[in-house]
Amino acid sequence: MDLATFLGVIGGIAFIFYGISSGGSISAFINIPSIIITFGGAFMATITSFRLDQILSTFQVLKIAFFGKNPDYEKSIETLVELAEKARREGLLALDEEASQLEDEFLRRGVQLVVDGVDPELVRNILETELSFVEERHKVGVGIFETITGFGPSFGLLGTVIGLIQMLRSLNDPSSIGPSMAVALVTTFYGAFLAYVVTGPIANKLKLKNADESLLKAIEIEGILSIQAGENPRILEQKLYAFLPPKLRKNLKKEREVEEVYGVKEKA
């Protein structure tokens, strides 16, 4: 579970409702026609912008945003180093059994290509092509939420214009001007709420998830090709850690040092 996504979305909604309730009644912000115009219009315009199968994948994309696991770079690097050590000791064919036990499907496919004796350049092309298609699929998910983010305020403004037109038609009744203006502005509020509290932040989180997964797969591609080339496992480890940002490398190093110290204490 991605705690940051839950805290951000739920916290944002909670703060807005707190601000509304502290200044008056929440019921003043509830207007069914405004909800239909803003939310319904934004979602229908988004459906028009994409294929139906892409729209149906939205729930799966949401699952990634809220429940997607952060990539374990260190575990993947350790796995690649272990495979490199076994390949140097026993040869590439010895990785056949190891490949079948790998949980990471992308890594398993890459190792299997190496075991099958596929040309290194072809291995790179196959894996990079798969990576590019994964990124394209992720971009569609991001694009859906970015489209909703763009349409939300627009339909909110459209609802406001509709409300103002209705208000102007009843200028002969001054008592209705205030409530009509309030209803007109509520649609603008709905559009901003949808875009800046829900769909916009989710789109940004999906971009981050996509970048993390792309980095992990880039590390795995380089590791697989290095194993095929017979590189020294220690050199391979240093090369793969070079993919990570310096701050992340330091954090992993600190975690490893703590584990080593804890292990020594535990044995003592």
What gap in Å lies between CA 35 and CA 146, rounded to an integer?
Answer: 19
Q: Taking Cα atoms as reference points, which of 81, 96, 119 lies closest to residue 219?
A: 81
At 149, the amino acid letter reads T
Per DSSP, 183 falls in state H
pLDDT computed for residue 24 by the predictor = 73
What does pTM read for this prediction?
Answer: 0.81
Quote the CA–CA distance of 93 and 117 in Å, as a whole number: 9
Residue 185: the pLDDT is 86
Per-residue tens of pLDDT for the chain, all 268 residues: 678 888 999 999 999 988 888 877 788 788 888 899 999 999 999 999 999 999 998 888 888 888 888 888 889 999 999 999 999 998 999 898 888 888 889 999 999 999 999 999 999 999 999 999 989 989 999 999 999 999 999 999 998 998 888 788 777 777 767 677 777 889 999 999 999 999 999 999 999 999 999 999 999 999 999 999 999 998 998 899 888 877 766 666 556 555 554 554 444 3
What is the predicted pLDDT for the residue at 43?
95
With vertex at residue 210, the alpha carbon angle to CA 208 and CA 108, rounded to the nearest 5 degrees, is 135
Rounded Cα distance between 255 and 201, Å, is 30
Residue type (1 letter), 239: K
**Helix, strand, coil percent content, the chain, rounded in steps of 5:** 85, 0, 15
Report phi then psi at 80, rounded to 5: -65, -40
**What is the amino acid identity at position 45?**
A
User: How far is the C-alpha of 248 from the C-alpha of 215, rounded, in Å?
Assistant: 13
pLDDT at 266: 40
- Is residue 214 a contact partner of residue 29, using CB atoms and an 8 Å limit? no
Segments making up each domain of the chain, as ranges: 33-64+71-263
What gap in Å lies between CA 134 and CA 142, rounded to an integer? 13
Cβ proximity of 121 and 8 under 8 Å: no
Backbone CA torsion sign across 232, 238, 241, 243:
negative
